[in-house]
Amino acid sequence: MKKGQLGFLTGTHAVNDLYQGAIPAMLPFLMSERDYSYAAVSGLAFAASGVSSLFQPLFGLLSDRKPLPWLVPAGFTTGALGVVAAGLSGSYLTTWLCVALAGIGIAAYHPPATSQARAAGGSSQRAMSVFSVGGTVGSSIAPALVTLVMGTVGFSGSYLLAIPALVMLALWVLKGPWMRWRGFVATDLLVPGTSVKAADSAGRGDDWRSFVRLVTVIIGWSIAFVTVTSMVALLAQGDLGASTAAGAAVLTCYTAAGAAGTLLGGWIGDRYGRMLSVRVGYLVALPAGKVRACARAK
């Protein structure tokens, strides 16, 4: 395991997913300051997650055909640009397009970054869980950052949200000298996951039946996850009478719990197998969803 490279990529993942988490964190402010309806903010949530999910397979296909390491900084920088522009825009259509642009940038980041993280982490499920936690930590930080900026200077200060991306972009540019100082060859960070993929798939063909089952399970999980992520802050603020800061705190707790679950899942995957980790996650989510639904009904 190349810990230096994995740690660097985990940092980029935190920055990239910070902008993914910034969009649902902005929805309560958009609703209150621009008088958007629930339907309107749901449309923005779709622009972020739906458009992203449509483009991500395309970026994955391109990354499989040819290593595209530049998509990593281009992805999180585009995500930052879209979020900042959405905050500064005036019309709903422009805001929607900017959020969609952020979603495309966030989607572009994941295939090459995940491939490089696999190459750096080897076959360890724990290494991949650490990389995944980087993204979850970024999403957890986003509500606090958005609340700080919007509560202090309003949407006119949206450009401040670009600071994490600019810092990480500078580190990416300087990563060559830094990696050499750490004792690594600079180009090692750009190793695509083709060798790992070849090792994983050696001697066997594609199992499309299992793949379809897995995708179906992921779709079922994603519907609930995106819905809660997009609406839980609005629920706390609008229906439960909490403040905007309290809504952001609820969203932060939700995503932070996801980070803890990801680390736990990586440990379970390494020790007992990946399928058990997935099953435990779903079994725990069912009663939690039931309790949340009952609390909402009251």
Mean pLDDT score across all residues of the chain: 80
In a domain, 290, yes or no: yes
SS3 helix, strand, coil % of the chain, rounded to 5?
85, 0, 15
- The model's pLDDT over 167-224, given as tens digits with 9 standing for 90+, comes to 999 999 887 555 555 544 444 444 444 444 444 444 466 778 888 888 887 787 777 7
Letter string b/e over residues 254-267, b meaning 16 or more CB atoms within 10 A of that residue's CB: bbbebbebbbebbe
Asked if residue 82 has pLDDT above 90, the reply is yes
In a domain, 63, yes or no: yes
Q: What is the CATH number of the domain that holds 122?
A: 1.20.1250.20
- The model's pLDDT over 21-40, given as tens digits with 9 standing for 90+, comes to 899 889 888 888 888 888 89
- Domain span at residue 188 reads 3-196+206-297
For 5-28, what is the mean pLDDT? 90
**Which of 24-28, 236-240, 247-251 is least confident?**
236-240
What pLDDT is recorded for position 157? 92
What pLDDT is recorded for position 185? 46
CA-angle at 99, arms to 114 and 92, nearest 5°: 170
In a domain, 189, yes or no: yes
pLDDT band at residue 166 using 50, 70 and 90 as cut-offs: very high
In a domain, 190, yes or no: yes
Tokens of 259: 């980070």
In a domain, 237, yes or no: yes
In a domain, 182, yes or no: yes
> Rounded distance, CA 297 to CA 249, Å?
21
Dihedrals φ, ψ of 293, to 5°? -65, -40
In a domain, 201, yes or no: no
**Number of structural domains the chain divides into:** 1
For 72-93, what is the mean pLDDT? 94
In a domain, 12, yes or no: yes
> Rounded distance, CA 47 to CA 104, Å?
9
pTM over 0.95: no
pLDDT band at residue 83 using 50, 70 and 90 as cut-offs: very high
Closest C-alpha to 2, from 187, 144, 161: 187
